[in-house]
Amino acid sequence: MHSGKAKLAGVLGWPVSHSRSPLLHGHWLRRHDIDGAYMPLPVRPEDFTEAVRALVKLGFRGANVTIPHKVAAFALCDEVDATARRAGAVNTLVFEEGRIRGSNTDGFGFVESVREQAQGWSAQDGPVVVLGAGGAARAIAAALLDAGCPRLTLVNRSRARAEALAAALGGPITVADAPPLADAALLVNTTSLGMQGQPPLSIDLAPLPATAVVADAVYVPLETPLLAAARARGLRAVDGLGMLLHQARPGFAAWFGVMPQVDAQLRAIIAADIPKTAA
């Protein structure tokens, strides 16, 4: 039961019914016996600013932000941290004394997920190849560079978009028309290819070193054709579910006062809600 002092948070999106965040945060609230609630908050784009300011007045601790609001959230914040500036978008809002603070935990979630699923991996292991140049690519590339990745190559259908992203991020980052896999320590797919309803990603993994890690930001289905191909070659494969689970941890800690952990039970609960293989 919730008391009149319940800590409140939620997820802002349009639509938001597909979000697994309420299931995820609900699990942690029960596990830690916290007097709190986390709810889906469907908000149309034209109502976003008004809705967020209303949440502040209602005493919410904060909220997650999902499609299509991540860029609007960035503009609305009173302050944004380095992760949000690097990502160019906000996915986590924290309300304190009437002020709105924004951060982006997607990059944190990705790096933590690879560490968890590919034991012994470090961003400093060697070159990284990132497929795509959208919001997820930006957050992931920024986090990998900040974690000490020695060289990162962006490969995207629109080369101009990849070059703009490389220029925005700076550091040891280059753009290529074909993925340089021969010395890659990590290959990351941030495109929608391989997602349910999308064509599979067409890439030959043969040039990758036997020690390489292959990661997919897609988590519907859990086992994309890319990850199946990586496992078939004996490579370490990292699914997109880990990123979803780990990116939620900093927000939960800020709103509810406990840094939660990702464990097998949580993974099983969320995985049960996701198709296993491509339809």
| Per-residue model confidence (pLDDT) at position 131 | 97
Tens of pLDDT, residue by residue over 241-260, are 999 999 999 999 999 999 99
Tens of pLDDT, residue by residue over 3-36, are 678 999 999 999 998 899 999 999 999 999 999 9
* DSSP characters over 49-78: HHHHHHHHHTT--EEEE-TT-HHHHHHH-S
| Per-residue model confidence (pLDDT) at position 226 | 97
| Per-residue model confidence (pLDDT) at position 277 | 65
Mean local confidence (pLDDT), 182-197: 94
Residues assigned a catalytic role: 70
Q: Give dist(CA 260, CA 268) in Å, integer.
A: 16
Which residue ranges form the domains of the chain, and what is each CATH number? 7-103+248-271 (3.40.50.10860), 107-240 (3.40.50.720)
The bridge status of strand 236-238 relative to strand 213-216 is parallel
Q: Give dist(CA 106, CA 92) in Å, integer.
A: 9
Describe the strand order of the beta sheet including 213-216 as a list of residue ranges: 173-175, 152-155, 128-131, 186-189, 213-216, 236-238
Mean local confidence (pLDDT), 175-186: 97
Q: Give dist(CA 22, CA 233) in Å, integer.
A: 36
Q: What DSSP designation does 222 have?
A: S
Mean local confidence (pLDDT), 30-54: 97
